[in-house]
Structure 1
Amino acid sequence: MDLRENNIDDAADDTCQWLPRHPSYVAWLQDSSSLLWIKGKPGAGKSTLLKYAFKQDPRDTLMASFYFNARGHALEKTALGFYRSILHQLLPFAPECLSRLALIYEQRSEVRGSIEKEWDWSEFELKSQLRDLLLNGADRPIRLYVDALDESGKEVAVDLVYLFSVLIRRARSEGKCLSICFSCRHYPIVMNTFEDFTICIEHENSTDLRMYVHHRLEANCIFESKAELLARHILEKACGVFQWIKLVLPKAIDSCRTGTRIEAILTKIRALPSELYDLYKAILAEIPGEERPESLKLLQWICFAIQPLSVGELRDAMAVDVNPSCTTFKECMESSSSTENDEDMEKKILHLSRGLAEVK
């Protein structure tokens, strides 16, 4: 349930400090029932900011979070998974709702048999249970944090925004406290009929990005004159997208370490595309022809695995070929093309993916 959240980076030191002072965030916290949007480009740091906001939330409220993940398990990207997760987090604080749901479970198990074999919860009934809990089941204010709404798909996103728009209006009229924070990319989902609050992350994170870049350059002992030029060019080109910086900055640092002239590094930075998708293509295009089959194999294992693979599992997978010359797994692991240990495999992952894959 926490897989996606655990894979999201925590805010870097001294970053996101602007959020508690942002007018929209302050107004959202002070409003008894309202909706806050964290919007931004892909890779701008929306998930990290939402995770930071969740940790900063005053503890006098009941809180729950959900992180949609289009590349994850079915329950990570569907409304059913969302309802199950939020109920799981809130039901311990809503005893009447919990008792009612437990009774339904006992009755159905007795009549139909084992859950997940003979029957299962439907999306409709969990939606109904959550609606009741949010409006009537708790004696404290409730705040929900929902990340990457766009990764749920347009239909689910529209339904959820409509649902919570209705619930917030009703909570206001009944004197209840219900607030929702959604993060999503810039695309119109649905127009709300009441005022909500919005934070556009790339309009706010320039100080965070500058601090991150300078800290990384300083930690790698890049001379101040070079560091200032690199930082300025990288920050201008990134246009507020943290992921762009995270991919390009290590390459610039490596170039400095190998003695590449600063003019050549800056020329290469200027030539890089600003859009993440185009940057990914440009990075992969740099892989030499002789390394591409192994890079492709690595990325296929990462992308098409049913669940995230450990370094050891990926090392084993990379040792096996579709048409192996060796006849046993032991022979594959002992072949000259295999990787000796997990430490070397981590380096290989970074090298073959050119930084697009990372070990956590």
Structure 2
Amino acid sequence: DWLGAQSEVFWIKGKAGSGKSTLMKFLSNHPETLNHLRAWAGNQQLITARFFFWNSGTALQKSQTGLLRSLLFEILRQCPEVLHYVCMVRARFKDPELRCLNPGSEHLPRQLDHLLDESLDWSHEELVHVYKCLVHTKAQSKFCFFIDGLDEFKAEGAQDHRELVSTLRELATWPNVKLCLASRPWTVFADAFTSTKWVLQLEDLTKPDIYRYVSDKFMKHDQYQKLLKARPGYSDLIGEVVRKVQGVFLWVFLVVRDLLDGLTYNDPIKTMHLRLNQFPDDLESYFQHMIDSIPKFYRKETAQVFQIALSREEPLSLITYAFVDDLAEDPNLGLAGGDIELTSSAIDDK
């Protein structure tokens, strides 16, 4: 399999909400994955790292610079002995006068200390150069990088997804590096990675699990059991749900929740089909459907909640959002100083 094969790319492709990130977290953390990678590395040192692009995160969480910095940090964390070498390589790249230095020298010249103190930000070109030198220097080591959410990458300047793909393909050409990548099946990624023999269409993998999930949820509902005996047409509903979701786990969770409400209300089979067919086929359209269903009277408040959530790097507690109405009445509420004391009943009301 890929874990024991020569250095190559493994591409996991799937629709939004199909479970790519969940699978990547599982794979990158599973002990069996590390066992197989250690067998691949043999007597050589194994270095692993992972990065998850996130388009709602900080600039570094959705940029190529953030990717390279994160992977470099993991390499240095696992191989602290090369930190000196990395500093020397970077200094030689930034300052032509220092290019006569031997990167293997044990002593850092005074001007190098000054240069590194002033240069906290790494450029894309610096990072790629350091990677090339480091991978060649650590040729007796094996590297495996798990990189998720390529479609959530946000371009920096003139960079676009093609530039990201180019960088990844260059990394994959090094004989001691292998990459496990995950993204939506966009053309730019299909053109770059379909030629590899290691490609997984995630919906093909999850279809049986989705069927079991839907069947289990319906069969545990008392009303479904009763309706199934009285109206055999209900037996086809599970298969219809699985066909409609097309392998998107998040979508099936949301739809099944609504259909179970229909069972609770004793909806006839015709109404259950109407419930199912009212949902858009893809997740983004479903979210748009949810937003469109918000009464116009509440949309201003909803927009404020979204703006607050998007402006935060870390999630806020649920009770914080309960003060949105209070801020509308008193914009200086949060500047008054002191703590706001809430009784249990006040929290329940919020």
Q: Deviations over 1:236-282 (max 9, x none)?
A: 21111112112222222233334444432321112221022222222
The Cα of 1:95 is off from its aligned counterpart by 4.0
The Cα of 1:79 is off from its aligned counterpart by 1.2
**Correspondence for 2:21:** 47
- Contact kept, 8 Å, 1:45 with 1:242, in 2: the verdict is yes
Partner amino acid, structure 1, of 2:161: A
**Correspondence for 1:13:** none
**Correspondence for 1:298:** 305
**Correspondence for 1:283:** 290
Alignment partner for residue 270 of structure 2, among 263, 274, 290?
Answer: 263
Q: Distance in 1 between matches of 2:321 and 2:174?
A: 50
**Correspondence for 2:34:** 58
Task: State which drifts further: 225-234 or 121-130.
Answer: 225-234
**Correspondence for 2:52:** 67
**Correspondence for 1:350:** none
**Correspondence for 1:157:** 161
Partner amino acid, structure 2, of 1:185: R
Distance 1:344 1:97, change over 3 A: farther
Distance 1:296 1:261, change over 3 A: farther
- Which of 1 and 2 has greater Rg? 2
Q: Distance in 2 between matches of 1:109 and 1:278?
A: 54
TM-score, normalization by structure 2: 0.74
Partner amino acid, structure 1, of 2:200: I
Find out whether 1:244 has 2:251 as its counterpart: yes
Distance 1:223 1:291, change over 3 A: same
The Cα of 1:37 is off from its aligned counterpart by 0.7
Name the count of aligned residue pairs. 307
Partner amino acid, structure 1, of 2:114: V
Whose relative contact order is higher, 1 or 2, with alpha carbons under 8 Å and at least 6 apart? 2
Distance 1:229 1:168, change over 3 A: same
Task: State which drifts further: 244-253 or 34-43.
Answer: 244-253
Distance 1:274 1:98, change over 3 A: same
Matches within 5 A, 1:134-283: 134-137=135-138, 139-153=140-154, 155-171=159-175, 177-189=176-188, 191-192=191-192, 195-217=196-218, 223-224=224-225, 228-283=235-290
- Contact kept, 8 Å, 1:92 with 1:98, in 2: the verdict is no
Q: Distance in 2 between matches of 1:87 and 1:98?
A: 10
- Contact kept, 8 Å, 2:206 with 2:247, in 1: the verdict is yes
Partner amino acid, structure 2, of 1:286: S
The Cα of 1:42 is off from its aligned counterpart by 1.6
Q: Distance in 2 between matches of 1:71 and 1:233?
A: 33
**Correspondence for 2:5:** 31
Distance 1:281 1:168, change over 3 A: closer
Query: Is the partner of 1:223 in helix, strand or coil?
Result: helix
Give the aligned CA root-mean-square deviation in angstroms.
Answer: 3.5
- Contact kept, 8 Å, 2:15 with 2:248, in 1: the verdict is yes
Q: Distance in 1 between matches of 2:135 and 2:349?
A: 50
Alignment partner for residue 89 of structure 1, among 74, 79, 103?
Answer: 74
Matches within 5 A, 1:342-353: none
Distance 1:305 1:167, change over 3 A: closer
- Contact kept, 8 Å, 1:62 with 1:90, in 2: the verdict is yes
- Contact kept, 8 Å, 1:135 with 1:167, in 2: the verdict is no
- Contact kept, 8 Å, 2:259 with 2:275, in 1: the verdict is no
Q: Identity over the aligned pairs, expressed in percent?
A: 24
Q: Deviations over 1:306-344 (max 9, x none)?
A: 44323243334x2433453997869xx799xxx943x77
- Provide structure 2 residue ranges, at least 5 long, that are not aligned to the other structure: 39-45, 92-107, 229-233
**Correspondence for 2:114:** 111
Partner amino acid, structure 1, of 2:71: I
Q: Distance in 2 between matches of 1:169 and 1:128?
A: 15
TM-score, normalization by structure 1: 0.72
Q: Deviations over 1:77-113 (max 9, x none)?
A: 1111111111111113334432223566886784258
- Provide structure 1 residue ranges, at least 5 long, that are not aligned to the other structure: 1-25, 172-176, 346-360
- Contact kept, 8 Å, 2:76 with 2:82, in 1: the verdict is yes
Distance 1:114 1:254, change over 3 A: farther
The Cα of 1:221 is off from its aligned counterpart by 5.1
Q: Distance in 2 between matches of 1:93 and 1:307?
A: 27
The Cα of 1:209 is off from its aligned counterpart by 1.2
Distance 1:135 1:216, change over 3 A: farther
